[in-house]
Amino acid sequence: MFGLFKKKSEKEKLQEAYTKKLSEVHKASQINRKEADRLAAEAEEIAKKIEKL
């Protein structure tokens, strides 16, 4: 109950962004491969930030 309003840590925020970006990659890969590659590169950058934490 008390965790309802707990602020998310930087790592949690990055993991959420990473998951969202991977979802976008999957959707884009069905339509536009070049866009999917760009999004995958962005997801990789987020993964690197997570590893540094």
43 vs 9, more confident? 43
Place of tokens 């965790």: 3
4, 10, 24, 42: CA torsion to nearest 10: 180
> Could you report the per-residue pLDDT of 2-35, keeping only the tens digit for each?
556 678 888 999 999 999 999 999 999 999 999 9
| Whole-number Å distance between alpha carbons of 36 and 52 | 25
pTM confidence score: 0.79
Rounded CA-CA distance 11/17 in Å is 10
Q: Where are the domains of the chain?
A: 8-52
Q: How confident is the model at residue 3, as a pLDDT?
A: 59
pLDDT in the model for residue 2: 57
Pick the closest to residue 18 from 27, 50, 31 (CA basis). Answer: 50
